[in-house]
């Protein structure tokens, strides 16, 4: 069942070489999450034919312009196009003050509910959850308050062994309880173990978005076993000093996090404007963690 990431922006601080500032769309079944929203995100969504009206939750990692300057325009487009469904926005407190100031200046009262959720950047927290997925924040180390996000599927129900259920004449009405792990007890008090009636569920899938951050080996612990990891890789490792000075990571460091976290796959992005050719960043990451790909705009990564 669908769980996939679309890259909308892959550039760091400034747009260049037709690369755009950070933005990603994560679709989990019918849920559409937007992660960061750099300038031009709405144009990128038009270009890649994203059904952007389905986005219900927007997560902003931090308030450097390349991660949120497309947000005001998107909110305004929703307003002008008559959106009526609620929109949940997660970000640092200043973000809502900024939005309100823009709305005041244009004398706009949004036609839909914009529900703001203040992210506490100093400690991880569950930002959102429903019956199938949760989103939790990760504390990152950047020049200003910055968080990453883990999108984790909740444990899925056990899978029924239909032949066994039939063999024991178990009524349909009991299936939900058995899926949830209960044993079956018949009218005479005989117990049939759940283990006989079900198989283990499909493993839960997860995606971690690690936005701008200084390399932090402890991060791997926080995202252990993630299926897909996006980690910024602004520089080649030969520029590590510059990476440290600007609170960014190198391609090698991103791969070290992926390796230590035992991630399924790594996607690197947030490429510095100094790299017209980004292949060397990929090559460098692969020396440490082979299953790495570049965050090419328009590319879709399935989380299986």
Among positions 121-150, residues that touch a copy of itself (CB under 8 A) are: 143-144
CB atoms inside a 10 Å sphere around CB 14: 13
Catalytic residue selected from 36, 66, 212, 227: 66
- Of 27, 89, 95, 281, which lies in the binding site for a copy of itself, with binding defined by CB under 8 A? 95
9: contact with a copy of itself by CB under 8 A: no
Is the Cβ of residue 27 or residue 71 nearer to a copy of itself in the bound state? 71
252: contact with a copy of itself by CB under 8 A: no
Q: What's the full length of the chain, in residues?
A: 304
- Of 4, 48, 53, 76, which lies in the binding site for a copy of itself, with binding defined by CB under 8 A? 76
Distances from the Cα of 59 to the Cαs of 84, 145, 154, in angstroms? 20, 14, 19
204: contact with a copy of itself by CB under 8 A: no
104: contact with a copy of itself by CB under 8 A: yes
DSSP 8-state symbol, 195: H
- Of 4, 48, 56, 72, which lies in the binding site for a copy of itself, with binding defined by CB under 8 A? 72
Is the Cβ of residue 42 or residue 137 nearer to a copy of itself in the bound state? 42
Please state, in angstroms and rounded to a whole number, the distance separating the CA atoms of residues 27 and 19.
22
**Closest approach of a copy of itself to the CB of residue 95, in Å:** 7
Q: Is 66 a catalytic residue?
A: yes
Is the Cβ of residue 62 or residue 265 nearer to a copy of itself in the bound state? 62
Candidates 57-65, 154-162, 176-184, 224-232 — which segment interacts with a copy of itself by CB under 8 A? 57-65
20: contact with a copy of itself by CB under 8 A: yes
70: contact with a copy of itself by CB under 8 A: yes
- Of 4, 48, 88, 102, which lies in the binding site for a copy of itself, with binding defined by CB under 8 A? 102
65: contact with a copy of itself by CB under 8 A: yes
Please state, in angstroms and rounded to a whole number, the distance separating the CA atoms of residues 46 and 53.
11
244: contact with a copy of itself by CB under 8 A: no
The token pair at 79 is: 């307003």
Task: Give the max Cα distance, the chain.
Answer: 75
282: contact with a copy of itself by CB under 8 A: no
Please state, in angstroms and rounded to a whole number, the distance separating the CA atoms of residues 159 and 30.
22
CB atoms inside a 10 Å sphere around CB 276: 9
Please state, in angstroms and rounded to a whole number, the distance separating the CA atoms of residues 45 and 140.
27
Contact present, 234 and 190 (Cβ < 8 Å): no
Between helix 93-105 and helix 71-80 the angle, nearest 10°, is 50
15: contact with a copy of itself by CB under 8 A: yes
Question: CA 203, 255, 41 angle in degrees (round to 5)?
Answer: 80
Instruction: Give residue for tokens 């790594």.
Output: 266
Candidates 103-111, 127-135, 157-165, 216-224 — which segment interacts with a copy of itself by CB under 8 A? 103-111
Q: How many residues bind a copy of itself (CB under 8 A)?
A: 36
- Of 84, 107, 166, 190, which lies in the binding site for a copy of itself, with binding defined by CB under 8 A? 107
The token pair at 209 is: 């978005």
Please state, in angstroms and rounded to a whole number, the distance separating the CA atoms of residues 103 and 154.
37
The token pair at 6 is: 């679309």
Coil, helix or strand at residue 124: coil
- Where along the sequence are the contacts to a copy of itself (CB under 8 A)? 13-16, 20-21, 39-40, 42-43, 46, 63-66, 69-70, 72-73, 76-77, 80-81, 92, 94-95, 97-98, 101-102, 104-107, 143-144
Active site residues: 66
């Amino acid at each position: 069942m669908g769980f996939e990431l679309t890259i909308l922006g892959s550039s760091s601080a400034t747009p260049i070489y037709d690369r755009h500032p950070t933005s990603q769309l994560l679709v989990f079944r019918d849920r559409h999450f937007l992660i960061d929203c750099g300038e031009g995100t709405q144009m990128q969504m038009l270009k890649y034919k994203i059904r952007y009206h389905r986005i219900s939750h927007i997560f902003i990692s931090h308030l450097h312009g390349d991660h949120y300057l497309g947000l005001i325009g998107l909110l305004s487009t929703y307003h002008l196009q008559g959106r009526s469904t609620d929109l949940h926005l997660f970000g640092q407190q200043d973000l809502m003050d900024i939005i309100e100031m823009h709305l005041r200046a244009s004398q706009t009262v949004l036609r839909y509910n914009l529900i703001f959720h203040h992210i506490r950047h100093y400690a991880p927290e569950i930002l959102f959850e429903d019956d199938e997925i949760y989103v939790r924040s990760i504390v990152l180390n950047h020049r200003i308050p910055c968080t990453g996000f883990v999108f984790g599927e909740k444990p899925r129900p056990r899978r029924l062994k239909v032949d066994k259920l039939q063999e024991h004449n178990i009524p349909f009405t009991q299936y939900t309880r058995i899926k949830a792990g209960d044993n079956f007890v018949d009218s005479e008090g005989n117990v049939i173990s759940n283990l006989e009636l079900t198989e283990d569920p499909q493993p839960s899938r997860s995606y971690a978005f690690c936005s701008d951050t200084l390399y932090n080996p402890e991060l791997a612990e926080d995202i252990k076993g993630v299926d897909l990891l996006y980690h910024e890789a602004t520089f080649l490792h030969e520029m590590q000093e510059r990476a440290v000075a600007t609170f960014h990571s190198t391609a090698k460091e991103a791969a070290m996090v992926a390796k230590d976290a035992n991630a399924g796959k790594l996607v690197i992005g947030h490429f510095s404007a100094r790299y017209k050719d980004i292949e060397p960043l990929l090559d460098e990451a692969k020396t440490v963690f082979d299953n790495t790909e570049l965050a090419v705009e328009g590319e879709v990564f399935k989380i299986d």
